Structures are given as C-alpha cells and as structure tokens.
C-alpha cells in the first residue's frame, strides 16, 4: 500500500511552494491509490499554534486535498522518547555537553586550519566519571546520533541515483538539552510508524535524507523511497522567499483565483508537459508521473497563473461553479465564462445584463438604432434571435459587418467588447433591449 505524507510545521501558513509539495503528494496518492497523510511537524511547541494548523487544513481543503489521516507530532512525545531510549541503549545516541559557544569556537578553529567543520566527537571520549562530574555540575546534555560514516545511496524518483557519504557529516543532534526534539528523529519515527512508502518533498531535504536513511536502518526498518523536487523561484529566477506573504495559499484564495488553476500550475511547472488548466485532480493525475519533474528550479510566474485561471474558467462547466454563483443560470454562465479572468468578474456581466446600462449611441447611428429597435422580434427569445434580428436589420438598413454590429453592442451593453451577443441578447430580454435602443 502506498502512503505519502505532507508535513508542514504549523508555525505559519503555507505558500505556493509548500502547496506544490502537497499537490505532488496528493497526485501521487491518487495515481497510486494510496493514502495521503497530513502530519503536523509541531515539535517546536513554542512557535506552533492550533490556529496555524487549522489555517493549513483550510488551505488544503480549498486546494481540494482531503487527507486520509491527520497526525500531530506534539502528541507523540512518549513514542519518540521510547525510540530515543532504544538508540541510547544501542550506543547510537550519545550525550554531548558542549555549549553553542564552545562548538562555534571549535568550528572556527577547524575552518582556520582548512578542515571541514564537522563535529569531532569529543563527547564520545568522555569517561563515565567525566560525564558524572558534568551532570553533577547541573549540565544537561544534548544528544547526537552516531553516524556510521558510510556511503548512503538511494534512487531518487526525481533526481535519479544519489550518493552521500555520511563520513563527511557531523553527527546530527536529535534531542536538545531541554529534552525537545529536532525535526529529524520524529520525522523518521513517524515515517516508519505510519508506513510511509514514498517521501516526496523539496530538494532542501536531500542532505537530511542520508542521515534519515541511517537512522531508519539503525531502527531496523527499511527506508521509504524518496523523491526530491526542485524549489520554486519567482519569474525572475530568484528565490520566492521575500514575496511569500502574497503567495500564501490564503492570499491566492482571497485574490479570487480558482484552486484548480493553482493546482494545475503547481503540478505542471517544471515538467515537460504543456501547462494547461485541468478541471479536477483526476484529470491532472492522468498525466502525472514523478519522473516528468525536472531537476531545474521551476519558475513561478503570477501572470502565468492569472492566464491559466482565465483559461480554466473559459471552459468550466456550470456544475463546477453553480454553488458559487448565487441566483445565476447555466445560460448566463455559458454566455459570460469566456469573458472573465476571475469568477467574481461574472458579476460585471450580470450588471450589464440586468442594468442599468448607459447605452452608447453615436449621433450618426441614431436612425440606425431606431430602425433596429422597430425590428426587434417578438419573444420568446433564444440563441437564434440575434441572427434573425440582425439579418432583418441588415436588409432594412443595408449595413453589414462592424458598422452593423458595433452600434448594436454599444447601445445594448454600453461597451465595445464583451460576450457573444447571440448569448447575451436572450438574457437581456426584449423589454430591456428595447429601452436601451431608444436614443434618449
Ligand atoms: N516539516 C518539514 C518541512 O516542512 C518536513 C520535511 C519533510 O517532508 O520531511 O520542511
């Protein structure tokens, strides 16, 4: 059984970059018939809040992602403690008493000598008596995982074969002096306990992977498969970090974008597939494969998202929007969808249909408009009324093409552009049309 997880820290809301990770996991789960688990990485209890967590849940719900299961790391400390004790007993987790200052000085000396700033394992050379003395002084240890220092290889489902030699890494601190956990150990334990088969996440975690594989194996488990996707940059190729506020999922939602436009862009960016709007995840999942994702940074362009949003709306069926357009009809939607960039723009066209509209009638068109008004067919009106009417106006006035159509559009809508009049006219109806065709 395939299981993936999206593991945000609820220390803030998610932005388009996190959303992309979530969407890729969601598509993978859909495609493989697996579970998508939402895991709150909230071991940092001081910075994590329930409010951010529920905000993230709302962001995912808006995106159309519904986790099969939700887990909170803050509720699993007893389990982490149990595993930490197991690693201590096996000699893989060892106490260290250096202060941050001491470590910093040591690193600087190493760098000055041209040596890599790798932790020298001085703590491993402490005798039991020395440890006893430090503890008697009231010093509390932090705990490092003793790496094997070997070549760790995995076949990354996006990046291909990867090898990292952990001999070049510092033994990672897994438990802080105050007993709190850094990200690494809880993440490994959860991936094992929740039977995560595939870890799909940003490439900023590639280096962590070697350490996580070592810890997983030290716990007697088989590592999951890994897939590290490239990170998003802005259209200018630079990191997104500065603009993340406006690119939060909540911000995209508030700006009136469609979730499937966001999902389509997030899923297709950085692939060789054409970027096109998909109306649902099933459609997106159809073309989805991790190995289509490029290793190069993917450029996120807000203008591209805006265009994709418009394109999506232009073909969106009535079913997909009817709950969000109070009082509208399918005929209205089909008439206006091709002329909107955001769903809220539909309101502009509702006002054009219902009025009041200030008809625009040029002096030289007054007689023409008056003649057209007389030729308005009787109701009921339908999609063929416009053609019947304009044919009659054409024969009576001798006008054709733009001089025929534009004055009618200007009079009926007050605008020189807009949805097909064949579709608008029956919605405007005879009474309103006649009133607008009356030169005031
Ligand atoms: N909480 C981590 C993050 O947001 C999760 C990383 C992971 O997927 O392992 O970066």
Phi, psi values for residue 350, rounded to 5°? -65, -40
**Is residue 250 in some structural domain?**
no
Give Rg (Cα) of the chain.
Answer: 31
Q: How far is the CA of 188 from the centre of ligand 1 (A)?
A: 11
**Is residue 404 in some structural domain?**
yes
Q: Is any ligand 1 atom within 6 A of the Cβ of residue 21?
A: no
Mutational test site, ligand 1, from 183, 190, 196, 197, max ligand atoms within 8 Å of CB = 183
* Nearest alpha carbon to residue 263 among 112, 9, 64: 64
Mutational test site, ligand 1, from 201, 213, 244, max ligand atoms within 8 Å of CB = 201
For residues 28 and 182, give the distance between their C-alpha atoms in angstroms, rounded to a whole number. Answer: 28
- Residue whose pair of structure tokens reads 């190069």 in the numeric block: 296
Question: 219: how many CB neighbours lie within 10 A of its CB?
Answer: 16
Res. 245 pLDDT band, cuts 50 70 90 = low
**Is residue 335 in some structural domain?**
yes
Q: What pLDDT score does 242 carry?
A: 57
**Is residue 68 in some structural domain?**
no
For residues 247 and 228, give the distance between their C-alpha atoms in angstroms, rounded to a whole number. Answer: 22
CATH number, position 399: 1.10.10.350
**Is residue 25 in some structural domain?**
no
Look at the chain and report how many structural domains it folds into.
Answer: 1
Q: Is any ligand 1 atom within 6 A of the Cβ of residue 186?
A: no
The shares of helix, strand and coil residues in the chain, as percent rounded to the nearest 5, are 50, 15, 35
Q: Is any ligand 1 atom within 6 A of the Cβ of residue 229?
A: no
Express each pLDDT in 114-133 by its tens digit: 999 999 999 999 999 999 99
Residue 62 has pLDDT above 70, yes or no: yes
Residue 213 has pLDDT above 90, yes or no: yes
Q: Is any ligand 1 atom within 6 A of the Cβ of residue 187?
A: yes
Report the nearest atom of ligand 1 relative to the CA of 21. Answer: 8
Q: How far is the CA of 111 from the centre of ligand 1 (A)?
A: 30
Q: Are 384 and 370 in contact (CB under 8 A)?
A: no
Report the nearest atom of ligand 1 relative to the CA of 191. Answer: 9
Q: Is any ligand 1 atom within 6 A of the Cβ of residue 262?
A: no
Return the structure tokens found at 281: 């995840």
Res. 340 pLDDT band, cuts 50 70 90 = very high
Which residues have a Cβ under 8 Å from the Cβ of 274 and sit 6 or more positions away?
268
Name beta bridge partners: 154. Answer: 162
Q: Whose CA is nearest to atom 4 of ligand 1?
A: 8
Q: Is any ligand 1 atom within 6 A of the Cβ of residue 8?
A: yes
Q: What pLDDT score does 240 carry?
A: 74
**Is residue 110 in some structural domain?**
no
Residue 431 has pLDDT above 80, yes or no: yes
Return the structure tokens found at 198: 């595939």
Mutational test site, ligand 1, from 7, 21, 43, 188, max ligand atoms within 8 Å of CB = 7
Q: Is any ligand 1 atom within 6 A of the Cβ of residue 18?
A: no
Q: Are 360 and 410 in contact (CB under 8 A)?
A: yes
**Is residue 226 in some structural domain?**
no
Res. 235 pLDDT band, cuts 50 70 90 = confident
Res. 241 pLDDT band, cuts 50 70 90 = low
Express each pLDDT in 378-389 by its tens digit: 999 999 999 999
Q: Whose CA is nearest to atom 5 of ligand 1?
A: 7
Q: Is any ligand 1 atom within 6 A of the Cβ of residue 17?
A: no
When mean pLDDT is compared across 226-240, 353-367, 368-382, 404-418, the lowest value belongs to 226-240
- Identify the domain containing residue 402 by its residue range: 320-440
Q: Are 33 and 2 in contact (CB under 8 A)?
A: yes
Q: How far is the CA of 279 from the centre of ligand 1 (A)?
A: 29
**Is residue 397 in some structural domain?**
yes
Query: Looking at residues 197-217, what average pLDDT do you find?
Result: 97
Q: How far is the CA of 57 from the centre of ligand 1 (A)?
A: 16
CA 72 to chain centre: 21
Mutational test site, ligand 1, from 47, 190, 205, max ligand atoms within 8 Å of CB = 205
Query: Looking at residues 24-39, what average pLDDT do you find?
Result: 97
Q: What pLDDT score does 439 carry?
A: 67
Q: Whose CA is nearest to atom 10 of ligand 1?
A: 8
Q: Give the chain's mean pLDDT.
A: 95
Residue 393 has pLDDT above 80, yes or no: yes
């Amino acid at each position: 059984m395939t299981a993936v997880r999206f593991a945000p820290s609820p220390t803030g809301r998610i932005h388009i970059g996190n959303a992309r990770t979530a969407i890729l996991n969601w598509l993978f789960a859909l495609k493989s018939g697996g579970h998508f688990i939402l895991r709150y990485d909230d071991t940092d209890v001081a910075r994590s809040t329930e409010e951010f967590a529920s905000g993230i849940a709302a962001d995912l719900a808006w995106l159309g992602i519904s986790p099969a299961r939700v887990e909170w790391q803050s509720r699993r400390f007893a389990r982490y403690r149990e595993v930490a004790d197991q690693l201590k007993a096996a000699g893989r987790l060892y106490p260290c008493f250096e202060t941050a200052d001491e470590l910093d000085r040591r690193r600087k000396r190493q760098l000055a000598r041209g040596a890599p700033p790798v932790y020298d394992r001085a703590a491993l050379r402490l005798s039991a008596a020395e440890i006893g003395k430090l503890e008697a002084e009231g010093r509390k240890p932090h705990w490092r995982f003793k790496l094997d220092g070997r070549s760790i290889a995995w076949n990354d489902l996006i990046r291909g074969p990867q090898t990292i030699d952990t001999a070049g890494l510092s033994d990672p601190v897994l438990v802080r002096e105050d007993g709190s956990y850094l990200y690494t150990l809880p993440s490994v334990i959860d991936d094992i306990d929740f039977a995560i088969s595939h870890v799909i996440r940003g490439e900023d975690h590639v280096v962590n992977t070697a350490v996580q594989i070592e810890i997983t194996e030290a716990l007697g488990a088989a590592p999951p498969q890994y897939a590290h996707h490239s990170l998003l940059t802005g259209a200018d190729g630079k990191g997104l970090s500065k603009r993340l506020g406006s690119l939060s999922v909540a911000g995209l939602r508030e700006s009136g974008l469609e979730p499937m436009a966001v999902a389509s862009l997030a899923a297709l960016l950085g692939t060789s597939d054409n970027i096109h709007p998909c109306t649902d995840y099933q459609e997106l999942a159809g073309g989805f494969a991790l190995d289509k994702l490029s290793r190069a940074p993917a450029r996120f362009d807000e203008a591209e998202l805006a265009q994709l949003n418009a394109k999506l709306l232009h073909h969106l069926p009535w079913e997909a929007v009817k709950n969000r357009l109070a009082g509208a009809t399918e005929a209205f939607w089909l008439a206006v969808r091709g002329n909107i960039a955001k769903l809220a723009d539909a309101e502009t066209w509702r006002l054009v249909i219902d009025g009041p509209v200030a008809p625009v009638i040029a002096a030289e068109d007054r007689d023409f408009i008056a003649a057209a008004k007389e030729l308005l067919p009787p109701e009921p009106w339908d999609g063929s009324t416009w053609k019947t009417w304009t044919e009659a106006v054409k024969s009576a006035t001798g006008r054709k093409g733009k001089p025929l159509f534009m004055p009618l559009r200007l009079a009926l809508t007050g605008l020189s552009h807009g949805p097909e009049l064949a579709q608008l006219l029956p919605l405007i109806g005879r009474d309103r049309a006649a009133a607008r065709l009356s030169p005031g």
